[in-house]
Structure 1
Amino acid sequence: MSAPRALLNDFIRFSNVDGPGNRFVLFFQGCNFNCTYCHNPYTISTCIDCEICIEPCPEDALFLGPAGRVTVDWDRCTRCDICVDVCPYDSTPLARQVGVDEILSEIRSTAPFLSGITVSGGEATLQPEFVATLFAELKAHPDTRHLTTFVDSNGACTTATWDLLLPVMDGAMIDLKALDDDLHTRLTGVGNDQVLDSIRHLAQRDRLYEVRLPLISGINDADDLLTRTARRLASIDPAMRIKVIGFRRHGVRSRYQDLTEPTTDQMEHYEQVLSAAGVREIVRV
């Protein structure tokens, strides 16, 4: 069987906001959600080769290549992201296919300075065979086996996907956009049954690092909703770590720029409501 490959948007060599410690982060291309407040909307879809981005490129770095695919001349590309800005389909021509060995080489170059690896997106669980193979290789080599392996996910995948990853995964960070299914569907385009199943499945197997609650003022931050959310999560694991993330406009698509950012006082109030409802460990960002 051939080695799995993945469609990758980009990677960051050093991050301290994508899990514990200093982490190498991979951002996969493609997502099964379409969140109104997505900060990386260009990672949602895969390129359909519509050619809209070719002419606006100021460096003539894009062209129609073999089989009618929009292709990048990396010697010319300056990563100005004009192609991303003009794309009407929440995608980018800059995503590329990568192999496990290529990513391992990148990680090894900075491994002594890293605490771990996080796969994010997009949605990393849409390419689970690649993730499982990468994590297994990291665990197998003496120079990388000290690195913890984390998945940053929307949780909308099957338990079978998690079971593929569990033997080589140290932790998962799951977003819960809203406890109410109707509101979750309005925010993401998808219901939350699989998300809640993922949270429960991972918690029972001691692989749930944290649940993240991205909150938008006036949308998914009502006291009653937060109280019910806290009680549901505490019923799964009273010691569950909850990260409260206030919405920020940076990177959000222009049509959603009128969404309201929570104030510092509101963020403190969210923490108080969650704590009163039974959550023991709360982090605010």
Structure 2
Amino acid sequence: MANVSQILPFSCVDGPGSRLVIFLQGCNYSCKNCHNPHTITPCDHCGDCISACPQAALALDSCGVKPRIVWHSERCSHCDQCLSACTKQSNPKTGQYSVEQLLTQIRINLPFINGITVSGGEASLQLPLVIALFKAIKACPQLSHLSCMLDTNGSLSLTGWHKLLPYLDGAMVDLKAWQQETHNYITGRDNHRVFQSITLLAQHEKLYEVRLLHIPGISDFDREVDALSHYLGKLPKTVRIKLNAFHHHGVTGEAAHWPSCHETDIQQLAEQLSQRGVKNLVLPSVYL
């Protein structure tokens, strides 16, 4: 069963073409700059959010072995007061989906999409489900033409990647910072596995995109542009290098006071990378 925070029927920014995106709940990073912090921690069903809901869309079901929050989606106005009430920044509005139920959602939207992207949170934390879903898609004659992509922070082990690779068409990997110290400061984790993942995916021609989130004065891409350019320049020329601009939407805590990234900041970083031979740069189409 997948713990799903949202299913987006159509997206043109989560991989190539038009895609159905499945956002899984739970993440092993604690990024200060996370735009969706409620996707980090799975709900522990404490019930604190129930009284905060003005539509009575949340209830506590005590019939099972453990009490569980039940979300009545038909009553929900998506005011997100429940998210504000949660002290753990979790999301009670998640759903449990089997592989077959996810396939049903895919079939409903089949005429409008040419691929599936599983995102998060961190999608690789539910690796058995992702493998089972992608395997089922590849085995179904009506769905096998759909490309299967993973949106990831790159923390999956090499063993995990080898299990997924036979069913994976491509991955978009976030490189949050170049230096270990900076990466640890932003995410709470080091980036050793991220580099391992990028290397392995590139070797197997499954690396679609490396994404760099530019946070002026915080992330170190501009300070480490020589080493970064040398590294990116060794990747296959088909790999997209996507520059994203930090903004404050959804951000809480310390990072809410970090400087926003403007178009001039992105253009300057892009020029520095380009001058050092980095190709296939993708810049934001919108700046907030």
Task: Compute the TM-score of the two structures, normalised by the length of structure 1.
Answer: 0.94
Per the TM alignment, residue 42 of structure 1 is displaced from its structure 2 partner at its CA by: 0.6
Tell which deviates more after alignment, 58-67 or 107-116.
Answer: 58-67
Identity of aligned residues (%): 41
Structure 1 position 61 matched with structure 2 position 60: no
Structure 1, unaligned stretches of length 5 or more? none
Residue aligning to 1:273: 272
2:93 alignment partner, SS class: coil
Tell which deviates more after alignment, 173-182 or 79-88.
Answer: 79-88
Q: How does 1:102-113 map to 2 (within 5 A)?
A: 102-113=101-112
1:100 and 1:223 map into 2 onto residues whose CA distance is 42
CA contact (8 A) 1:233 1:240 kept: no
Q: How does 1:1-285 map to 2 (within 5 A)?
A: 5-66=1-62, 67-221=66-220, 223-237=222-236, 240-253=239-252, 255-285=254-284
CA contact (8 A) 2:221 2:228 kept: no
Structure 2, unaligned stretches of length 5 or more? none
1:115 and 1:167 map into 2 onto residues whose CA distance is 19
CA contact (8 A) 1:36 1:256 kept: yes
- Aligned pair count? 281
CA contact (8 A) 1:13 1:24 kept: yes
2:135 and 2:183 map into 1 onto residues whose CA distance is 34
2:43 and 2:142 map into 1 onto residues whose CA distance is 36
Per the TM alignment, residue 254 of structure 1 is displaced from its structure 2 partner at its CA by: 5.1
CA contact (8 A) 1:211 1:241 kept: yes
1:205-236 Cα deviation digits (max 9, x unpaired)? 00000100011011114533122112122234
Per the TM alignment, residue 238 of structure 1 is displaced from its structure 2 partner at its CA by: 5.4
1:223 alignment partner, SS class: coil
What residue identity is the alignment partner of 1:230? S
Per the TM alignment, residue 125 of structure 1 is displaced from its structure 2 partner at its CA by: 0.4
CA contact (8 A) 1:111 1:143 kept: no
- The alignment yields a C-alpha RMSD, in angstroms, of 1.5
2:176 and 2:246 map into 1 onto residues whose CA distance is 11
Change (3 A) 1:222 1:114: closer
